[in-house]
Structure 1
């Protein structure tokens, strides 16, 4: 399966606060918040949702196409992605803006406060999927957080081209209008959210759970330490537990890695349960590292994790996909 991953490409500035955000909030003063947090560490890492997902897919030998906009400072990052199996040919280089910046602070409970500077991402809507599809036929377009105009354009172009698409609005739900959210979701083969985003998506669209499911193929909701829930119309809910007992170094990029594993598995026509299991195993790799591309995809290690957590049958199904003996 040839997957075009559209969305943000960024540099992550990750900080760790040794306390708890909630302890710094005074309930009757929330309307006049003025806080400064002294952090213990700062890590500067490669990131961006689309780049993170493409990195994971590259590690799983899916040869993904990265579709996004960057600045002239992208050269070193591009080499890194190419070395890890990502086709960066469709990336647009802006002459006017630097690559986007993600600034995130995580407390001891893994809660996060973040800000995002779009920079070159504002040019992402210039990328034409029609031209890309003509050069490299696409089997799936993943529309992940990006400049809203790019998200809407690439969703509509996927529809025009008749290419199945996956909707992953996630962080951009805070910026999208109800009409925009409905447009991004309607007709998606796959819809990805976390638990909070699932509620926000229902609020934005004005649809209840059943109305969302009537408009998408399958809705995948990540639940953090509780794993993942998979819903489809007229089908019993499927739940898959997360990999237990992972020492959490940093949660940034965990959901992106899940999407990589899930999409790689469904690209190989594996069952949804197996796809979610590989997604959870990929998430565990990221959670144990600082930075969303600091992990290494080692097929045997993934297979051992799946065998230990989900059983030998799950491992046997995944072994051919991971290029490992059963």
Structure 2
């Protein structure tokens, strides 16, 4: 299965605040908010939603095509991605810009405050999905993860025009786009990915009920954190796939991207959607236990052992061995 992943490519500056954000807020002074948090740890890591998902697919044995824009500082990052199975031939490098930056602080309750600077990512709309498909000899799925709004809209339009199946993952860009644009991004998607908060925000932003959103897409996957994954399909009863229990998160950044990568890898290897979600939950658990969004590297046995321990023997375990064994 040939998968292209369009989305952000970034460098993450991840900081940890040992206290709680909520204890620093004064309810009647939020209008003049001015806060500084003394952090006890900083990690500088590779990130960006598109690159994270592509990395996860790469370590699970696929060769995804990453579609996006990076800056003059991309050489080491490119080498890292290619080392882990990602085709970076469709990444545009902007020589006078830096690769996008994500600065995020996580508190003791795993709440996060983040800022994102687009940098070279502003050129992502210049990359043509049609050209990527031609270079690849065809595409079976295009994952449209968070990017600049212009890039997301252009790539969605290209997928529709070319009849390419696509997965809509608008994520944090939902709040930044108009009602018509958000409706355009998700209409006709084979898969729609959101978390629980984004699912509510998507209904507010589109003006559509959950039922109508489901009518627009083939499958709606909503991550529920420690409660697992809600899998909804038109005409089918909703299913909740439980998460891996007793995970002690080190850093939540990138866990959703890992889940998407695991699920899509399972689909590519012929697993049912439920078993693909189980594989995604396991990959997400590995990401949660690791600082950095691309630092996990599951081996076939460890991945399958965790699937077996949580979900028992069955197609998901066999699929985990097949997927990770291909890496």
Contact 2:282 2:307 in 1 (8 A): yes
Contact 2:229/2:277 (<8 A) preserved: yes
Paired residues of 1:56 and 1:297 also in contact (CA < 8 A): no
| Native 8 Å contact 2:303 2:321 kept in 1 | no
> What residue is the counterpart of 1:11 in the other structure?
11
**Deviation at residue 212 of structure 1 after TM alignment:** 0.1
Aligned to 1:275: 276
Q: CA deviation at 1:268?
A: 1.7
Map of 2:83 onto structure 1: 83
Q: Which runs of 5+ in 1 are unaligned?
A: none
Q: CA deviation at 1:318?
A: 3.7
Q: Secondary structure at the match of 2:103?
A: strand
Match of 1:70 in 2: 70
For 1:89-238, list aligned pairs within 5 A: 89-136=89-136, 137-238=138-239
SS of aligned partner of 1:79: helix
CA displacement at 1:317 relative to structure 2: 4.4
1:319, distance to aligned residue in structure 2 (A): 3.1
**For 2:64 and 2:119, how far apart are their aligned partners in 1?**
24
| TM-score, reference length from structure 2 | 0.97
Q: What corresponds to 1:286 in structure 2?
A: 287
TM-superposition CA deviations, 1:8-57 (whole Å, max 9, x none): 00000000001111111112222221111111111100000000000000
**Matched-pair contact (CA < 8 Å) for 2:130–2:158:** yes
What secondary structure sits across from 2:88 in the alignment?
coil
Identify the range of structure 1 (171-180 vs 247-256) with the bigger mean alpha-carbon deviation: 171-180
Q: Which residue of 1 aligns with 2:253?
A: 252
SS in 2 for 1:214: helix
Structure 2 unaligned blocks of 5 or more: none
Q: TM-score, normalised by structure 1?
A: 0.98
Give runs of ≥4 in structure 1 deviating > 6 Å: none
Residue in 2 aligned with 1:302?
303
Q: Aligned with 1:114: secondary structure?
A: strand
1:190-249: CA deviations, max 9, x gaps?
000000000011111000100000100000000111110011122100111111111211
Q: Is the 8 A contact 2:175 2:205 kept in 1?
A: no
Task: For residue 68 of structure 1, give the secondary structure of its aligned residue in structure 2.
Answer: strand
Superposed CA RMSD in Å reads 1.0
Aligned residues: 324
Return the alpha-carbon distance in structure 2 between the equivalents of residues 7 and 81 of structure 1. Answer: 14
